[in-house]
Amino acid sequence: MLSGAWRWLSPVGLLLLWQIASGTGILSEDKLASPTKVLAAGIDLATSGQLGDAFVVSLRRVLLGVAVGAVIALALGLTAGLSRWGAVLVDPPVQMLRTLPFLGLIPLFIIWFGIGEEPKIALVALGFAFPLYLNVYAGIRDTDPQLLEATAVLGFTRWERLLHVVLPAALPQALVGLRQGLGVAWLSLIVGEQINADAGLGYLINNARDFLRTDQVVVGLVVYAGLGLATDALVRALERKALRWRNTP
Amino acid sequence: MAQHTVTVRGLVRQFGDRRVLDDLDLVVRQGEFVALLGRSGSGKSTLLRVLAGLDREADGETTVNGTVSVAFQQPRLLPWRRVWRNVSLGLHGVDARSVADKALAEVQLTDHAQAWPLTLSGGEAQRVSLARALVREPDLLLLDEPFGALDALTRLAMHRLVDDLWQRHRPSVLLVTHDIDEALALADRVLVLDEGRIVAEHTPPVGRPRRHADLTELRTRVLADLGVTLDEAA
Ligand SMILES: Nc1ncnc2c1ncn2[C@@H]1O[C@H](COP(=O)(O)OP(=O)(O)O)[C@@H](O)[C@H]1O
Ligand SMILES: [Mg+2]
């Protein structure tokens, strides 16, 4: 089977084609700068500190949004998952809200939060919270009743059952929710940063657009993509560590 | 008078309008090993769940003196806790690790204390489940077809182990099974459950280990109680 290094053949080939198309003028720089130009712009933005500053601002928005969203999703998910009344009271409204296209809430968010950091963070929080809530709730509810029964006979206290049965049972599903949620969080950030941003990666991209700097636009996109990949790798590492009981040799 | 660990009188358990347990009486004496035989669906697990306190919908008088542990047909281990934690979790006020190690040594699983349950074979997992039940030093040990899913050779080894553990700790045991040879090899008393009540009671010869040859005649009688005549079985 062909694998390993050969998998890079076509991506590198495409990059070469792109470079050739730019070099021969088939692809004008106003539409899309060449890979080497993008690389140069990247180095430029990085050394001037602009890229680093934008990166920090955007990362902060995501981290805050994810933190807020996690608190909300875990609180609601645990309430709905662990108590009958919690499920009755919490789940229906959340399921209804879920059907709203949440990016359509931007106008409301601007009215509520203005155009500063808050609507961007709120958008990330909202986008992140739904997948996490749904998966935490489902994970808790799917706890094997046979295990609960067995541990009841074994004299586990309620707290021990929560700690050693329910929460670990829900963890794999919760981690799926975390991964889905982070994917939505990055999208929310990109959309949110279109709102009147004066800093961050979205601002950097919009600014570049105004000057037709397609090289800088692509640099911004590459950084977005890199951040998405990095968080995904982070969650995978977390999964491997937290779910190592599943990786039977 | 020796105290009875289990006293059941007039136990009735209905699902819909089907009476699975119908006016059942049962006594298990202290330290006694009782096997409960019955065909599949005869209500063995239902009875066990009542005794374990897992089913509170049953009518009748049920008294259990002392603490209860259960080993189920499936080991029901927590896959995300290591073997020794599975044995000791839920125990309070003891040195969990040393208690678990001792129990695991009794079922010859010392080397697996640190293993994850999903890496165990069926027999090993069932031994962990036994260790987990025994480490609580129960007055009553309920076994619900704990060897039903094991291969014949492993099952024989498990019989010796259970016999051994019972002799050492002397809990009252109620072993539910559909395996006649298992019941005859292990129990002081063999009960047959049918139509919701105990329809027959047999006492295998005392002395252990029992030889298969000594049990042939009794085996035929128990089979008859279960509605199987020998030429049918052959
Ligand atoms: N929770 C339940 N709801 C309805 N029927 C049940 C329930 N539990 C057991 N039964 C029925 O009771 C009968 C006896 O079941 P069980 O005690 O599990 O039999 P077994 O002797 O094989 O252990 C079966 O017909 C089963 O379908
Ligand atoms: Mg059963």
Label residue B230 by pLDDT band (50, 70, 90): low
Q: Is residue A186 part of a domain?
A: yes
**Closest alpha carbon to B48 in A158, A143, A161, A153:** A153
pLDDT of B234 higher than 60: no
List the CATH number of the domain containing A69.
1.10.3720.10
Q: Is residue A30 part of a domain?
A: no
pLDDT for B85 equals 96
Q: Is residue A14 part of a domain?
A: no
Q: Is residue A27 part of a domain?
A: no
Number of domains in chain A: 1
Q: Is residue A90 part of a domain?
A: yes
Number of helices and strands in chain A (H, E): 11, 0
Task: Mutate one of A154, A159, A164, A239 to test the B interface: name it (highest B CB count within 10 A).
Answer: A154
Q: What is the pLDDT of residues A84-114, one digit of tens each?
A: 999 999 999 999 998 888 888 889 999 999 8
Q: Is residue A17 part of a domain?
A: no
Strand partners, B193: B198
What is chain B's mean pLDDT, rounded?
90
Q: Is residue A12 part of a domain?
A: no
Residue range of the domain that includes A223: 35-243
Residues 6+ apart with CB under 8 A from A119: A106, A109, A110, A112, A113, A192, A195
> Which of the residues in chain A have pLDDT under 70?
1-2, 248-249
pLDDT for A248 equals 66
Chain A stretch 118-157, residues whose beta carbon is closer than 8 A to a beta carbon of chain B = 146-147, 149-157
Torsion region of B70: left, alpha or beta (phi above 0 gives left; psi -120 to 50 gives alpha): beta
Q: What is the pLDDT of residues B97-115, one digit of tens each?
A: 999 999 999 889 999 999 9
What's the CA-to-centroid distance between B41 and ligand 2, angstroms? 7
Pairing of strands B189-194, B33-37: parallel
pLDDT for B110 equals 94
pLDDT of B189 higher than 90: yes
Q: Is residue A18 part of a domain?
A: no
pLDDT for B231 equals 63
Q: What is the pTM for the complete model shown? A: 0.85
Q: What is the pLDDT of residues B45-104, one digit of tens each?
A: 999 999 999 999 999 999 999 999 999 989 999 999 999 999 999 888 889 999 999 999
Q: What is the pLDDT of residues B121-149, one digit of tens each?
A: 999 999 999 999 989 889 999 999 998 88
pLDDT for A195 equals 79
Chain B environment of A152 (Cβ under 8 Å): 54
Task: Mutate one of B78, B82, B137, B174 to test the A interface: name it (highest A CB count within 10 A).
Answer: B78
**Closest alpha carbon to B70 in B120, B166, B136:** B136
pLDDT of B233 higher than 60: no
